[in-house]
Each structure stands twice: as C-alpha cells, then as structure tokens.
Amino acid sequence: VANELTLREIADAVGGTVVGNPDRRISGLQPLDLAGPEHLSFLHNPRYAAQAQSSEAGAVIVASADMLAGRDLLVCPEPYLAMARALELVHPPRPLRPGVHASAWVDPTASVADDAEVGPFVTVGEGAAVGERSRIDAGCVIGAHAAVGSECHLHPRVVVEERCRVGDRCILHAGVVIGSDGYGFATSGGIHHKVPQVGVAVIEDDVELGANVCVDRGTLGQTRVGRGTKVDNLVQIAHNVSVGEGCLLVAQVGISGSSRLGDHVVLGGQAGVVGHVVIGARSRISARAVVAKSVPEDAWVTGNPARPHREWLRANANLARVDKLRQRVEVLEAALADKRGE
Amino acid sequence: VANELTLREIADAVGGTVVGNPDRRISGLQPLDLAGPEHLSFLHNPRYAAQAQSSEAGAVIVASADMLAGRDLLVCPEPYLAMARALELVHPPRPLRPGVHASAWVDPTASVADDAEVGPFVTVGEGAAVGERSRIDAGCVIGAHAAVGSECHLHPRVVVEERCRVGDRCILHAGVVIGSDGYGFATSGGIHHKVPQVGVAVIEDDVELGANVCVDRGTLGQTRVGRGTKVDNLVQIAHNVSVGEGCLLVAQVGISGSSRLGDHVVLGGQAGVVGHVVIGARSRISARAVVAKSVPEDAWVTGNPARPHREWLRANANLARVDKLRQRVEVLEAALADKRGE
Amino acid sequence: VANELTLREIADAVGGTVVGNPDRRISGLQPLDLAGPEHLSFLHNPRYAAQAQSSEAGAVIVASADMLAGRDLLVCPEPYLAMARALELVHPPRPLRPGVHASAWVDPTASVADDAEVGPFVTVGEGAAVGERSRIDAGCVIGAHAAVGSECHLHPRVVVEERCRVGDRCILHAGVVIGSDGYGFATSGGIHHKVPQVGVAVIEDDVELGANVCVDRGTLGQTRVGRGTKVDNLVQIAHNVSVGEGCLLVAQVGISGSSRLGDHVVLGGQAGVVGHVVIGARSRISARAVVAKSVPEDAWVTGNPARPHREWLRANANLARVDKLRQRVEVLEAALADKRGE
C-alpha cells in the first residue's frame, strides 16, 4: 500500500531540491540501516554521516548538500518536516469510504455528513453530529448532542460523552474517553456525595489524543484541550483543566482539576500537575516532575516537587557530596582532637 | 436541559434557609465569575467575598448570612454539599428509558430487570444479571454469570468479566474493566507459566470508578472495592487487593497485589502501593508517594519510599542545606589551617 | 465450574508425589486460611508451617514432605508451578464455542478459522485473519490486514489496528490497543505536523498483555513485544520499542520511543524508560525508577534518575545523615570558638 513517485515529484511536493538523479523512483521510506535502492532515507544528524555513506538507500533527505557526497539527495531546510510530508505522499491513508455501515446505529435525530464514514457497531446518539469527511471507526460511541467536526479520524472504540465537542481535523486513538465525569465529591459525615458534573469537554481543532486518554467534563463550564495540542497515550486530564494551544503532553501525564496550561507547554512522560495551578506559556516540565505550584512562562522545571532544572541538578549533586563532606568533618574532628591533645 | 426552580424550592430540597427573595427563579449554577442573574453561585471561602460582591449571580450559597450582604442568599451549614444537591435539582440526569435496545445481545439465560435500560451493542452473557433501574450504555459487556445491581450507571464500553459482581448505585465510567486476570506467573526455567486467575472482583454499593480504571479478579478468592469508595481515572487495582469503605483513590494510582486498605484511606494522584502491605484506616498517602511497607492508622505519609510527612519535609529541607553546610566546613578548615600556621 | 479429581490424578498431571491418601477427592484450591477438606492448598514458605498445621485443607502442596507432618501432601520440586497446573486442572477455562456470532461483522475478504470463536459485535476487517482455536470476545476490532494467531484469547473490546500481528497463544485483556499511532511530530513555526506512523506492532507468541495496555505501531519498521513476555495493566509501549523475550513489565510502566529491552528484563510498577536507550538482558528496574540512560546486562537499578541499587541506598542513607552531620559541624564550630577565646 505504497505509492511510487520520482524523487523530483517528492521534492516538488515537500518544497525541496534534488541533487543527483531526479527520476529515481521511490516506493518507501526507511531508516539508513534498513533502506534499499527503492527507498528514501534521511540524515538529520551529521553524527550518522558514516552510516549514510554505507547505507543502500536510493536517496537521502538532508539539510544541506555538503552533508553527504555521491548520493541522490533531497535537500530541504527542515528535513524532519520533509520526511513527514514524504511519508504522507508515499504511504497515504486509505481513501475514505463515505456512508454508514449497515450495523451502525444512528439516532434519527442525529446528523451525519453524507461524505463521512461510519464503521460497524458505531452509536451516534440523539441530536449528535458528525462532520464532513470524518471517519468514525468500529465501536465508537458519540453521545447525545455531542459533536465531532470535519475531517476527524476517531479510531475504534472512542467515546465522546453527551454534549462534548471535538473540533476539525482531530485524531482520537482507540479507547479515548472524552467527557467522563470529573472527580468531585462533597464529603459529609464520612459519606462522599457526588457533585454532578454538568459541564462539557471541548477538544479544539487539530488536536491528537493517544490511546486510552481520558478527558473529564467540567463540573460547570468546560475542560478544554487547545488547538493543535498533541497528547500521548494514557494521559489523564481532569475537570475544568485548560490546556493551551500547541502543547505536548507525553504518555501517562496527569493534570489535576482546574489547572491551566498556557500555549506551547511541554510535559514530559509521567509528569503530574496538582490542581488549581497555572503553567506559563512555553514552559517545559521534565518527565516525572510533580508541579506543586504555579510555574512562570518560559521556565524549565524538574523533580518532585518541581523546581528550576538547575536547582534540581545542584540538589542532586549535593546529595552525592554528602559522603565527601562527612569525611572532611572527620578530618576536622581528628585535627581538633589532636590540638586538644597538644 | 435545566429545570427552573425558585430559590425557596431549592432551599427546601437541600435543607437551607433563604435570606432575601425566595421567589427568585434559578435555571442554572455557575461559578461567581460566570454567573448571571438567572444563576445560583457559591461562596465557600471568605477570600472570595469581593468576587462575590461584584458577581452578577442572582443568588449565592453561603455558610452564614454575614459572609455576603445585599444579595439573595441560600444559607446552608455545608455549602459544598448544598451545591451538589442543587446541581442535581437544576441539572437532573435524563430520565431512564427502560428496555433493551434492538441491537443489544442478551443471552436467553440472562436476567435483565424490566425497568433497566440497555443500550446499543451491549452484550449480556449467559446467566448474567442486570438489576432494576440500572442503565447500561452502548457497547458494554456483562460477562457470563456476572451481576450488576440496581440503579447503576455503566457508561459506554464498560466490561464486567465473568462472575464478577457490581453492587447497587454504582457509577462505572467509560472503558472501566472489572475482572481482568491478575498478574501472576510461576517462572520455571526462564518460562513464565500463567497462574490461572479463578477468583472474582467485587465492587460494593455506591462505588464510582473513573474512565479506563482496571480492577483485576482475585487469583483465588476476590478483589474488593469497598462500599462508597470513589476511584478516579486510570487507576490500577491488582488481584486480591481489598480497598475499604469510603476511600478516595485519585487518578493514576496503582495498588499491587494482596494489599489491604482500611476504611477512609486517601491516596493522592499517581501514588503507588507495593504488594502485601496494609494501610490503616483514615491514613493519607500523598500524591506520587510509594508505599513500600505497611502504614498505621491515621498516618500521613509522603515520598519514595513513603515516610511520615514531617520526616519527608525535614529530609527535603536538609537536602537544601547541604550547600550551606559545605560552606561552614570550608570556614572551619580555613580556621584550622590558620591555627596550624600560627 | 470446578472439576473433582483425586490427589493422585493431580499429582500425575503436575509431576508430583502423593504422601498420604492418594484417593482424597479435590474440588478446588484455596489458601491455607480459607481451605476446607475438599480443597488443595499450598505451603511455599516454611514461615507459614503453623498456619498449615491448623488449616482445614484436605491436602497441601509442599516442596518436601518434611515441611508438614500428619497431612495428605502433594510433594513437588516447584510447588508454585504445581499450583498453577493444578488450578488449570480443577478450574479449566470453559470449552471454546467454535463459530462466528450472528451479530459479528466479518469482512468477506477476512479469514477466520472454522474452529475459532468470534463473539458478539466483533469486527474483523478486510484481509484480516484469526487463527485456529482462538477466542475473540465481544466488541473486539481486528483491523484491515491484521492477523491474530492460533489459540489466542482476546478479551472484550481489544483493538488490533490495521496490519499489526499477534502471535500464537497470546492473551490480550479487555481494552488493549495494539498499533495506535506513535507520538511523532515535526514542529515547524510552532505547529506540530504529524509524522505518519506507517509501521506496525508485532506481538510474538505466548505474550500476555493486561487491561488497557497500549502498544504503538512503529513510525517505520515495527514495535515488538518478544515471545513469552508478560505485561501488566495500563502499560505504555511507544513506537519502535523492542521488548525482548520473557520480560516482565509491571502495571503502569511507560517505555519511550525506540528503546530496546533485552531478554528477561524486569520493570517494576510505574517505572519509566526514556527514549533511545538499551536495557541489557536480565536487568531489573525497580518500581518507579526512571531509566535515563542505558543499563548494562544483569544490573539492578533504582531511583530517579536510575542508578545501581546500592548507590541509591547509600544516597538515601546520606540524606538521613545530613542532620547528624550538621550537629557535628556545630560542635566543631563551638570548639574552635572556644579555642579562639582561650
């Protein structure tokens, strides 16, 4: 399931220049060590120049022609982006198959675009909407009055609970849950009374959510995942959280209720954020960090509790120094004992 | 989808007193900053008194009338609980729609109460039971001889594996798995032989489990989640664990096999508990702590490995002090060198 | 749903010797404290000899006859393995029910073995294959051109995305996702452009994956889970990871892209592994450790960042010693002040 293109066709499409044979036929992309003559490969890092030299790749994407001699090259200012686009050309997704599968259940009051694809055993509830050219895979459940925009791809078994909204061009991987109840209880006399969660979850345009990600609905108001944000597998986003635009949330991150992330924030894998804090735009939270208080813009924090990365490095270094410090104290004690003995 | 009620009607239902106009009409609840004249809002914390003063809320829930002047008030001893109840009144869940959806598959030997609601593509296995007024959403799977009690709500795609039991009034969010096999292997000659997991998982009454939560079945005997316990999203509860009554398990917690939690234990987000330990009643485990040995009753533990919270605070403070200590040692060394030089 | 066997029948099947009455009838296994006369129990650890003495168990599995006197015994060199096998005999899984459920949707171009069992609302996509004697439970989705081998058990709602492969005798628990897209983006001008993930995920023979586990497909090439590896619930395995044979990955572990685990590696619960590292064969990663660089073979590492276990123990001990060290420095300072005062 791969297209065959010439190097020139790829170069034209991704905005690059060919050095060498523009008519070379390409039918796949592979890393340097696996590529054959029919493959396009890529050299991002000059460290791998030797590997590129010995690779059997038919052609190589590079940032500048002097990175690799004697090869057919596709020269692009942003080689990783060029690789992404070349992959789209060579391995395009299968064409949409408009129509609703015979086994799906679409409520008579729901609205499914004519050119959308709705797979087997999908449920589309009352008053729900699926937009143009969206693909809803097997077993998805679109709740009552929920809306999925256009050109989305919901992989199998995604749930969008009632009244929640998914924007355009979103990709939701298998097992995603949008709009589960937030975790809110009023405890009285040892009994945890449920606080009804009557808000919604809103996924803006161009968002991608990994497998088994959970986004709770707001208690009141909404939980929001901002435009262009990409979320890895098994991430938890609690009620009334606001995630800004263009953020990156790596696998198994957890964000507690009502916290607010600015735009372009990056959270490393398994990081945690307590409730009701603000993380400033462009800040970077290291993998496994615990954000226990608000973080300014453009910061880099690490550890538990999270502190500026340099401070964390120093604290860790100090820990290693305690042994040495103890030895120095012993020397001092001995010296002083000597003096007393004098 | 909101009811309109008078302030007096709400007060009567939640057990509060009206100060001001009892006939004010309320059609929603909103936080202070978003509320309009048709909304009921709430002031839990005197810190927000100024915000309440400037809010456009039609009425405000408060603990005592002197917290806010010149407003229609709903005075309740437990304002957060009152808010929860007012939400139920104003935003009630949609009425149940008794009956089994035409697309569902119910084994002839299964028993589904007449007034239960069973949604599209639900599977109810042989000998399984669904109790009165329970709602089973699209795509759920109730395994052979499993039982779900009365007045439960299983959100889409919940799985209750064979012979497992869910009590009354439980709420299971989308993607919950009850009764997956525990992680048990007998390793011999480098091969991990599966130990058959023939026990069950038992979810007692009034439990709520968040999206994509996993509760393994017991190897022998049972895994238990006690009455009234509330579990957040993506939590893992291993085989033969016993979680007491009224516990709170925040998102992404993991509890290893055979550990036992007393009643009213609280585990903060992403905390972990090793196998075969006991956590005493009413103990509090901080977010991200790792419980590596048993914890007494009424304790508060933090860190990895978890220790009493104060001890953890001191250890962290000490770490920060190492730098200073080193400077003091340097002063001493210099002083001693001086003395020697005298 | 239990078979009744004599002690001798069990002994013959598991390769053990009877001491006492070989005709004793056994209809279940239970731990020492719950076992009655009809049960077989087990004594692994001499510490529990007193409990075994007072147990009402009809017979007990032991490693050697001198561990317990006056009882019917099943003596086996590997008692835990014998227990696993005895469980299979006494509580066998229900027999397979070959055939495709009337409600399932199997694409005409798919191939399902005649003696496979395909449950309600299962989707088997175009060109997909299900092997002999495999059991596919309700709501599973086998994507286009994906393949599931023979004698597998896919619990409810497992997703195998297109072109991914599952070997023979695999057990995939409810909610497992095989072949979700890896987390790969080319960021340009603040926009995260998706890098198409066109590789596959390959689950080798005899693998078990816990509930809601996610295994991403490779960007190019493949993500691999090696033969005989056992993975607990809610684990994340990123794109192009290679997990060796016979590994154990405990609940909530996360492994970042392109990392490689040798054979027989053990990762404790909630451990994390950064991208592009190698973990040598037979190494042990403690629960909650963060592997931030490659680990040699046969190592045992702990902490964040992970370091040799002994080093981590020493660092933790040092932290506890800082208080004492400070006191010693105070004594020195006072002594020196005295001297100066002399």
Cβ atoms of A257 and A182 within 8 Å: the answer is: yes
Does residue C242 have a pLDDT over 90?
Answer: yes
What's the confidence (pLDDT) of residue B80? 92
Q: How far is residue A14 CA from its own chain's centroid?
A: 23
- B212 → chain C, closest CA residue: C212
Chains that touch B (3 or more CB pairs under 8 A): A, C
**How many interface pairs between A and C have CB atoms less than 8 angstroms apart?**
171
Quote the CA–CA distance of C167 and C173 in Å, as a whole number: 15
What's the confidence (pLDDT) of residue C118? 98
- Nearest CA to CA, how far is A276 from chain C (Å)? 25
Chains that touch A (3 or more CB pairs under 8 A): B, C
Per-residue model confidence as pLDDT tens digits over C156-168: 999 999 999 999 9
Cβ atoms of C330 and C336 within 8 Å: the answer is: no
Per-residue model confidence as pLDDT tens digits over A19-77: 999 999 999 999 999 999 999 999 988 888 999 999 999 999 999 999 999 899 999 99
Q: Where are the beta strands (DSSP E) in A54-128?
A: 59-62, 72-75, 99-100, 105-106, 111-112, 117-118, 123-124
- Closest Cβ opposite residue B248 in set A188, A192, A321: A192
ipTM, two decimals: 0.95
Mean pLDDT of chain B: 95
Per cent of chain C over pLDDT 70 is 99
CB spacing of A157 vs C159 below 8 angstroms? yes
Q: Which of B233, B252, B338, B340 to mutate to test the interface with A (most CBs of A within 10 A)?
A: B233
Contacts of C234 in chain A (CB under 8 A): 212, 234
Among candidate residues B153, B155, B239, B264, the one labeled active-site is: B239
- Nearest CA to CA, how far is B197 from chain C (Å)? 8
* DSSP assignment letter at A181: P
* DSSP assignment letter at A322: H
- Closest Cβ opposite residue C233 in set B105, B214, B321: B214
- C207 → chain B, closest CA residue: B192
CB spacing of C326 vs B325 below 8 angstroms? yes
Contacts of A342 in chain C (CB under 8 A): none
CB spacing of C183 vs A250 below 8 angstroms? yes
Cβ atoms of A137 and A116 within 8 Å: the answer is: no
CB spacing of B180 vs C211 below 8 angstroms? yes
Highest mean pLDDT among A231-235, B318-322, C320-324: A231-235
CB spacing of B156 vs A123 below 8 angstroms? yes
Quote the CA–CA distance of A90 and A26 in Å, as a whole number: 8
In Å, how far are B125, C50, C60, C80 from C18, measured between CA atoms?
A: 40, 21, 10, 16
Give the 3-state secondary structure of C89-133. Answer: HHCCCCCCCCEECCCCEECCCCEECCCCEECCCCEECCCCEECCC
Q: Which of A103, A216, A220, A222 to mutate to test the interface with B (most CBs of B within 10 A)?
A: A220
What's the confidence (pLDDT) of residue B315? 83
Count the residues in chain A. Answer: 342
Mean pLDDT computed over C249-255 = 98
- Nearest CA to CA, how far is C188 from chain B (Å)? 33
- Nearest CA to CA, how far is C56 from chain B (Å)? 16
- Closest Cβ opposite residue B328 in set C80, C228, C333: C333
Among candidate residues C39, C155, C239, C264, the one labeled active-site is: C239
CB spacing of B88 vs A196 below 8 angstroms? yes
CB spacing of B328 vs C325 below 8 angstroms? no
- Closest Cβ opposite residue A246 in set C192, C220, C321: C192
- Nearest CA to CA, how far is B314 from chain C (Å)? 9
Per-residue model confidence as pLDDT tens digits over B266-290: 999 999 999 999 999 999 999 999 9
**Helix (H, G, I), strand (E, B), or coil: what is residue A335?**
helix
* Cα–Cα nearest to B217, from B196, B231, B201, B235: B201
Contacts of A233 in chain C (CB under 8 A): 177, 180, 183, 214, 216, 236, 238
Quote the CA–CA distance of C221 and C200 in Å, as a whole number: 7
Contacts of A233 in chain B (CB under 8 A): none
Contacts of C155 in chain B (CB under 8 A): 159, 161, 180
Cβ atoms of C228 and C207 within 8 Å: the answer is: yes
- Closest Cβ opposite residue A174 in set C121, C177, C252: C177
- C264 → chain B, closest CA residue: B190
Per-residue model confidence as pLDDT tens digits over A200-234: 999 999 999 999 999 999 999 999 999 999 999 99
| Confidence band, pLDDT 50/70/90 cuts, at residue A1 | low
Chains that touch C (3 or more CB pairs under 8 A): A, B
**How many interface pairs between A and B have CB atoms less than 8 angstroms apart?**
171
Contacts of B3 in chain A (CB under 8 A): none
Cβ atoms of A28 and A90 within 8 Å: the answer is: yes
Mean pLDDT of chain A: 95
What's the confidence (pLDDT) of residue A342? 60
Mean pLDDT computed over B90-114 = 97
| Confidence band, pLDDT 50/70/90 cuts, at residue A192 | very high
- Closest Cβ opposite residue C188 in set A81, A93, A336: A81
CB spacing of A191 vs B137 below 8 angstroms? no
CB spacing of A323 vs C335 below 8 angstroms? no
Contacts of B84 in chain A (CB under 8 A): 185-186, 193-196
Q: Catalytic residue numbers of A?
A: 239
Mean pLDDT of chain C: 95
Quote the CA–CA distance of A306 and A299 in Å, as a whole number: 11
- Nearest CA to CA, how far is A30 from chain C (Å)? 6
Q: Which of B101, B121, B122, B141 to mutate to test the interface with C (most CBs of C within 10 A)?
A: B141
- B271 → chain A, closest CA residue: A272
| CB < 8 Å & 24+ apart, contacts of B309-317 | B314/C323, B315/C319, B315/C320
Cβ atoms of C277 and C253 within 8 Å: the answer is: no
Does residue A326 have a pLDDT over 90?
Answer: no
Q: Which residues pair with A6 in a beta bridge?
A: A25
| Confidence band, pLDDT 50/70/90 cuts, at residue B1 | low
Comparing A323-337, B97-111, C200-214, the range with the smallest average pLDDT is A323-337
- Nearest CA to CA, how far is C166 from chain B (Å)? 18
Torsion on CA atoms C271, C269, C185, C239, rounded to nearest 10: 110
Q: Which of C158, C164, C194, C331 to mutate to test the interface with A (most CBs of A within 10 A)?
A: C194
- Nearest CA to CA, how far is C131 from chain A (Å)? 21
| Confidence band, pLDDT 50/70/90 cuts, at residue B326 | confident
Q: Would you say the pTM of this structure is higher than 0.90?
A: yes
In degrees rounded to 5, what are phi and psi of residue C202?
A: -125, 120
